[in-house]
Structure 1
Amino acid sequence: MTEVLTAARMRAVERAAMESGRVTGLELMERAGQGVVEAILEHWPDGRRAVVLCGPGNNGGDGFVVARLLAGLGWQVEVLLLGGADRLPPDAKVNCDRWRRMGPVSGLTDGRMDGYAEDNPGVDVAVDAIFGIGLTRPFLSLGRTQMELNLWAAASPRDSRFPGVVSIDVPSGMDADTGEYPGYTNENPLDSCIVANMTVTFHRPKIGHLTGHGPAACGKLIVKDIGL
Structure 2
Amino acid sequence: MGDALEDMLVTPVEMAAIDKDAADSGIDSFSLMRSAGLAVSAAALRLFPAGLRFVVLCGPGNNGGDGYVAAEALAESGAQVALYILGDADKLRGDAARACKGCRLAGLPVEAYEPQAGDIVVDALFGAGLARDLPGVAQTIIKRVSASRIPVLAVDLPSGIDGRSGEVRGASFTATHTVTFMAAKPGHVLMPGRQSCGTLEVFDIGIPTRLVAARASDLRINGPADWRHYSRGLDAGTHKYKRGHLAVLSGGPTSTGAARLSAAAGLVAGAGLVTLGSPPEALAANASHLTAIMLKEVGSAADLAEWLRDKRLNTFVLGPGFGVGKKARDFALMLCDRALVLDADGMSSFQQGREELFDKIAGNGGQVVMTPHEGEFARLFPEIAADAALSKIEKAQAAARLSHAVIIYKGPDTVVAAPSGRAVVNVNAPPWLATAGSGDVLAGIIGAHLAQGFPAFEAAAAAVWRHGEAGICAGRALTAERLVENIPPLA
Q: TM-score range by the shorter chain?
A: 0.7 to 0.9
Find the counterpart in structure 2 of residue 145 from structure 1.
Answer: 141
Within the candidate set 7, 15, 21, 2:20 is matched to: 15
Kept in 2, the 8 Å contact 1:176–1:207? The answer is yes
Aligned-residue identity in percent: 38
Deviations 1:117-146 (A, max 9, x none): 2xx4432x1011011122221114123201
Per the TM alignment, residue 212 of structure 1 is displaced from its structure 2 partner at its CA by 1.8
Q: How does 1:185-196 map to 2 (within 5 A)?
A: 193-196=172-175
Matched, 1:211 2:190: yes
Kept in 1, the 8 Å contact 2:51–2:118? The answer is no
2-structure distance, mates of 1:201, 1:108: 23
Find the counterpart in structure 2 of residue 132 from structure 1.
Answer: 127
| Structure 2 gap segments, 5+ residues each | 1-5, 208-491
State the one-letter code of the partner of 1:226: I
Q: RMSD between aligned alpha carbons?
A: 1.6
SS in 2 for 1:199: strand
Find the counterpart in structure 2 of residue 72 from structure 1.
Answer: 76
Deviations 1:164-217 (A, max 9, x none): 1011111111100111013x5xxxx5xxx3221111100010011001212111
Matched, 1:170 2:157: yes
Matched, 1:225 2:204: yes
Kept in 2, the 8 Å contact 1:56–1:83? The answer is yes
Q: Normalising to structure 1: TM-score of the pair?
A: 0.83
2-structure distance, mates of 1:89, 1:37: 23
Q: How does 1:37-186 map to 2 (within 5 A)?
A: 37-99=41-103, 102-109=104-111, 112-113=112-113, 116-117=114-115, 120-123=116-119, 125-142=120-137, 143-152=139-148, 155=149, 162=150, 164-182=151-169, 184=170
SS in 2 for 1:78: strand
1-structure distance, mates of 2:64, 2:135: 18
1-structure distance, mates of 2:94, 2:19: 16
Q: Normalising to structure 2: TM-score of the pair?
A: 0.40
2-structure distance, mates of 1:139, 1:211: 19
State the one-letter code of the partner of 1:20: S
Per the TM alignment, residue 103 of structure 1 is displaced from its structure 2 partner at its CA by 1.9
The count of residues paired between Structure 1 and Structure 2 equals 201
Per the TM alignment, residue 39 of structure 1 is displaced from its structure 2 partner at its CA by 1.5
Kept in 2, the 8 Å contact 1:55–1:82? The answer is yes
Higher relative contact order (CA 8 A, sep 6+): 1
Kept in 2, the 8 Å contact 1:58–1:92? The answer is yes
SS in 2 for 1:147: helix
